[in-house]
Homo-oligomer: A and B are copies of this chain.
């Protein structure tokens, strides 16, 4: 078994919206095709991978560093004892001659390749990825349906309430129950009005999460927390800089309801430090590591293990990114659920074309691998790399 080639391209996933800290009009992602020497029905088995939104494409790092290291390695050195691709050995190989620390853009590049490796592996075993994960890492247990919520609730300059309510109502029509909206991109008064307008739609605070995208300093974070405390929201996400552990500690001492964060922490070292020093509460708070940004599912599994020994269960993890990989992981590893992008970050966001959401849950797909082939607009772009 051998990797014949890994091809990459930079694709647009721009969207017109903004959150509290960035706008997404120039957002890009890297996509890769990992060509194996195995065939099925006369066609090569190909693994596909893409990055998550928010951190841009990583062409140079893929072309100049990670891909050559894998292609130059002895093919056998990338296999496990049974002769299948070993994602952990491949991770180690692509990170050869990389120094410790500095887990940023290269973590995104590595995640794109890692996704393609797992996709290929599940295809070789003719299983959906969630089943492979269930067998390997969850004693054959899995969830038949997965809690999903749409990442959304953006700002609509000029028609704040109207635009926001229209977006949120659309999610409800699609079958979502818990919705999420951005905060911190306007003044407190405006944000509270926006929250009220959405609460009116969703009925209960437990059906609404808010996301500041790391915007607040400590005073702002606490002030906002006090203002929403009585609403009993599902969670209060990324209140401040994800590396400001002291801020999280102080907030967690004051804000009684769940806090969520970690989509911008990309390594097991960073997430472990966060868990050790942030004072977040494993019984109620949420960890949102994104496997398509932080060195991939391979790193996620190792991080899950590391923070598990520190009291953080799988159920308190909900991967960021709204991609198919997160859905497989949530089902096969029995995480708390996964984010979902039915409307934004197209064509890479969201699940398979035929995925149905019912009362806030969806069923993982049965197609082998991750199932990018069942997401037609994305597949139309990514399949060109394999031709």
- Interface residues, chain A, with chain B CB atoms under 8 Å away: 10, 21-23, 26, 28, 54-61, 64-65, 96-108, 213-214, 241-246, 264-267, 269-270, 273, 276-277, 293
Contact = CB atoms under 8 A, between A and B. Distances in A.
Most chain B beta carbons < 10 A, residue from A101, A269, A276? A101
B214 A97 contact: no
A294 to B, nearest CB: 8
Nearest to A22: B97
A103 B55 CA distance: 11
B103 A102 contact: yes
5 contacts: A59-B64, A102-B104, A103-B243, A245-B276, A273-B273
B100 A214 contact: yes
Nearest to A215: B100
Given A60-B61, A273-B245, A266 B21 contact: no
B61 A105 contact: yes
Contact of A60 (B26, B58, B99): B58
A57 B60 CA distance: 8
Contacts of A267: 243
A102 B266 contact: yes
A267 B242 CA distance: 13
A103 B214 CA distance: 14
A244 B264 contact: no
Q: Copies of this chain, how many? A: 2
B55 A64 contact: no
Contacts of A65: 56
Contacts of A276: 245-246, 277
A66 to B, nearest CB: 11
Contact of A104 (B60, B64, B104): B104
A272 to B, nearest CB: 8
Given A28-B64, A273-B243, A99 B55 contact: yes
Contact of A100 (B10, B21, B61): B21
B105 A242 contact: no
B100 A264 contact: yes
A245 B272 CA distance: 10
A21 B102 contact: no
Most chain B beta carbons < 10 A, residue from A103, A264, A267? A103
Contact of A107 (B64, B104, B270): B104
B64 A98 contact: no
Contact of A99 (B54, B58, B97): B54
Contacts of A269: 241, 243-244
A36 B30 CA distance: 33
Contacts of A244: 269
Nearest to A243: B269
Contacts of A266: 101-102, 104
Contacts of A61: 56, 60, 105
Contacts of A55: 99, 102
Contact of A105 (B23, B97, B106, B246): B106
8 tightest CB-CB pairs across the interface, nearest first?
Answer: A104-B104, A101-B264, A60-B60, A243-B269, A105-B105, A102-B104, A100-B214, A101-B242
A276 B245 CA distance: 10
A242 B99 CA distance: 10
Given A243-B273, A269-B243, A102 B60 contact: no
A151 to B, nearest CB: 14
